[in-house]
Structure 1
């Protein structure tokens, strides 16, 4: 039945008045945030909390979602819910559509019900008994689609629920409760994330099984500095294409303390690779002593990341260069740093790296031939310098201090294992991405932490190969930056194209089209995860009231 007097789009009914079907009842937990407000014709409203399921019902067939506009924009009825455009609509503007009865044109009674971002409006005419019901969003398996979509968007993008809530409150936008967000995360989002990562990881493992000359990179990130970390996440990367192939989350009480988390994370990752039949040539890591011993006993070729060694040497050089009798070393500081990278990149064996590394001690004395037959002379062309004061002399305090650092037995042993091909700088970039999803100042559960690590890996892998952006004329785009370590000196940095977020769209599609319909198969992956006991499980839980009664402020302890 059409009502030509509705207003905009007169030949099209905005709402439907077909008989209403009663849906399945919502869970009691979801109803905790249900609000019901009734408006009388004068505009006064009253609200109350509703504990029972809404007495109004919903059926997608009862809501006509077709609306033609002067711009001839047509609604695609077959378009998925999570791909449909959404808008911010003010309440008073929306309720104007329900002020008059479309049949007798008289004032009607309006009742509205709010459930998070979901709004349902019932219009009843007391004069001609006209009735219709309108809902702001579809309902999927008794869950409003907008509420679920908001939860997925928050979680998948690594946003903070409480920060978004404050934004919504500032705009007077209706927001779901945190309890509802957690229910959505536990029932739908976390199973979908784990499934998505395992599916992507299985595909990567299948490709790696067929490849050779694989070089891995490994590094751990702790959730807090020092030795008090609760979680340690170990990342393993294929350094040839900068792709994360595995992430292991270790809780400190699993391994007897946070000092043992890195070794355990690496062990689990290597066991997973072996289980998938993946073989690799070498692995690049930092100089963690437990990692060195474990890889040595496992007969795995290990290389050290150059940056980690350069950082340690640079700190010692800066310290001795501050002394008056060693000020000349400041002129050689950058040259020695560059020499570390050149030594690693230009050498093919451990002895050659050591020979090239120690040759710098002759070079800074203006001596460019060396006793070591592996590297008998410097490769640079001979030059006559005009600054004679920069050269050091053997026997001086500055030279002796420098020689002590560069010829240190541990340094020579580490230089011998410098990585000649790939470095772990990309893993440091992964840690930067993880911070967006797992801030160190926020406490997460084990499963929550693991799912956010998987999201960070999905995001990083999708955007690892981003090309450099170009100007309209096709020129490569750069920006000028002032890195802190360069102490005021600037450098050019390539600008990458904007990142993509296809993994978020994939998660939305998986959740709305599969997980919500039948979450059981996706929960199986969650049940396979071994979740350790919380750190407080080893302690007896005291009575809360006793703890409260024993509370004494340090500023109010009475007279001594």
Structure 2
């Protein structure tokens, strides 16, 4: 970019200054009086001044299942410019999370529509963020046995279960079942692991209407047999 003289003071002593904003390089041409003549960004600017590189870095980090801390460490080791933590989380909560939520809700409604009028057998299992009784979060997934598609997913915080990690799986499953029933999915059978709280809940809450037959999957049954009797 050719810059001849300052349009404000007429100075021909023009200096080029380089700086960075997140992952973008910025070059400014400034005269000796401090007047900014023009500015160039290495990345296009999107809505509300968000730089496209910062947006893409944030999006790929979230959607690949990674996290900011690891990616920032990787960038620092390679001496790459990276968006700040505040900018990353602002982009995440302003753009990425709402977009994912909207897509997920649309996807779920399509699934529910395809299951209406059918007898549905579902498979459920939970996954904690850490083993044992110290887990803080539990994500519970429910899959349709016929199509092998995940039709519901709920995440429960330990604070929702009086800080009892062992109760999170039952609470998350109940939330899944209530949402499925509310969306007119006719559940005839549920297959889970041998969680005692889930077994008790199914006997008391779902033994009449809506009546859902509960059974344990064979893998967990065989695992428990081997653990208890084949030592």
Task: Find the aligned partners of 2:130 and 2:119 in 1 and give their Cα distance.
Answer: 35
- 2:43 — aligned with what? 137
Task: Find the aligned partners of 1:145 and 1:179 in 2 and give their Cα distance.
Answer: 16
Of 220, 224, 229, which aligns to 1:308?
220
User: Which has a greater percent of strand?
Assistant: 2
Task: Find the aligned partners of 2:137 and 2:14 in 1 and give their Cα distance.
Answer: 59
1:215 aligns with 2:121: yes
Tell me if the contact between 1:231 and 1:252 (Cα under 8 Å) persists in the aligned partners: yes
Distance 1:169 1:252, change over 3 A: closer
- 1:165 — aligned with what? 72
1:267 aligns with 2:174: yes
Task: Find the aligned partners of 2:189 and 2:161 in 1 and give their Cα distance.
Answer: 26
Distance 1:195 1:165, change over 3 A: same
- 2:15 — aligned with what? 109
- State TM-score, norm by structure 2: 0.82
If you compute each CA radius of gyration, which structure gives the higher value, 1 or 2?
1
1:237 aligns with 2:128: no
- 1:254 — aligned with what? 160
Q: How many correspondences in the alignment?
A: 212
Tell me if the contact between 1:121 and 1:133 (Cα under 8 Å) persists in the aligned partners: yes
Distance 1:254 1:316, change over 3 A: closer
Distance 1:16 1:318, change over 3 A: farther
SS, match of residue 135 in structure 2: coil
Task: Find the aligned partners of 1:205 and 1:247 in 2 and give their Cα distance.
Answer: 13
- Unpaired runs of 5+ residues, structure 1, are 1-14, 18-105, 320-560
Task: Find the aligned partners of 2:158 and 2:78 in 1 and give their Cα distance.
Answer: 42
Task: Find the aligned partners of 1:148 and 1:169 in 2 and give their Cα distance.
Answer: 18
Task: Find the aligned partners of 1:275 and 1:263 in 2 and give their Cα distance.
Answer: 18
- 1:192 — aligned with what? 99
Tell me if the contact between 1:220 and 1:234 (Cα under 8 Å) persists in the aligned partners: yes
Of 117, 130, 153, which aligns to 2:60?
153
- Unpaired runs of 5+ residues, structure 2, are 4-11
- State TM-score, norm by structure 1: 0.36
Distance 1:295 1:194, change over 3 A: same
Provide the alpha-carbon RMSD of the alignment. Answer: 2.3
Shift of 1:308: 0.6
Shift of 1:218: 0.9
Tell me if the contact between 2:181 and 2:187 (Cα under 8 Å) persists in the aligned partners: no
The 4+ residue runs of structure 1 with deviation greater than 4 A are none
Task: Find the aligned partners of 2:132 and 2:70 in 1 and give their Cα distance.
Answer: 28
CA deviation string 1:512-556 (max 9, x = no partner): xxxxxxxxxxxxxxxxxxxxxxxxxxxxxxxxxxxxxxxxxxxxx
CA deviation string 1:94-132 (max 9, x = no partner): xxxxxxxxxxxx995212231011122123688xxxx55
Task: Find the aligned partners of 2:96 and 2:152 in 1 and give their Cα distance.
Answer: 20
- 1:123 — aligned with what? 29
